[in-house]
């Protein structure tokens, strides 16, 4: 299970926005479209399972299986499509008596484009699936109660 620590910046019913530090695993995340980057920090939309409040320090987790499936989809599927397209283009060109190199390149590129469209469509679906969304699992420290001040304190 991938675990991060952060601070809640905004809360809506069932959802919390958490400020965390950006790391290398962010690129493979299916929910990266629901994150907003601010320099080395990022704000992540999470399921607020722990009823966290604004200012709370929290632990956010994402299941490892979901993370690995998302990584496979984003990185390996396009490479597999590219290789299959290139091999198919090479075989088809050979059977038609054509130069196999340009046909393999064009078929590989075509399959790569198709795979990117499929990945994009599936990534959108995965981002809507609760299993692929980060969740607040624990509140480390509660935010102090909000105190309104009226002018300088003496």
67-95 tens-digit pLDDT:
788 888 888 999 999 999 999 999 999 99
Domain 2-63+132-141 sits in which CATH superfamily?
A: Nucleic acid-binding proteins (2.40.50.140)
Cα–Cα distance, 115 to 13 (Å, whole number): 36
Higher per-residue confidence, 30 vs 2: 2
Cα–Cα distance, 40 to 31 (Å, whole number): 18
Spatial contact of 101 and 39, defined as CB atoms under 8 Å apart? no
Q: Which residues, 6+ apart, have CB-to-CB distance to 82 below 8 Å?
A: 108, 109, 111, 112, 115
Spatial contact of 133 and 44, defined as CB atoms under 8 Å apart? no
pTM for this model (two decimals): 0.57
**Would you say residue 51 has pLDDT above 80?**
yes
Confidence label for 33 from pLDDT (cuts 50, 70 and 90)? low
Q: Which residues, 6+ apart, have CB-to-CB distance to 50 below 8 Å?
A: 58, 136, 137, 138, 139
**43 closest CA partner among 26, 28, 64, 30:** 26
Compute CA distances 141 → 13, 45, 58, 68, whole Å.
20, 19, 7, 30
Q: Which residues, 6+ apart, have CB-to-CB distance to 133 below 8 Å?
A: 31, 34, 45, 46, 47, 62, 127
Confidence label for 154 from pLDDT (cuts 50, 70 and 90)? very low
């Amino acid at each position: 299970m991938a675990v991060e620590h952060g601070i809640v910046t905004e809360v809506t019913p069932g959802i919390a926005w958490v400020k965390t530090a950006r790391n290398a695993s962010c690129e493979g995340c299916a929910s990266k479209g629901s994150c907003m980057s601010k320099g080395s920090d990022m704000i992540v939309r999470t399921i607020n399972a722990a009823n966290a409040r604004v200012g709370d320090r929290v632990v956010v987790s994402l299941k490892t299986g979901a993370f690995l499936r998302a990584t496979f989809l984003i990185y390996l599927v396009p490479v597999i499509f590219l290789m299959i397209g290139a091999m198919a283009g090479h075989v088809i060109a050979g059977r038609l008596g054509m130069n196999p190199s340009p046909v393999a390149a064009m078929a590989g590129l075509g399959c790569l484009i198709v795979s990117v469209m499929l990945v994009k469509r599936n990534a959108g679906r995965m981002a809507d699936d609760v299993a692929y969304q980060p969740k607040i699992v624990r509140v480390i420290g509660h935010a102090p109660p909000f105190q309104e001040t009226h002018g300088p304190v003496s």
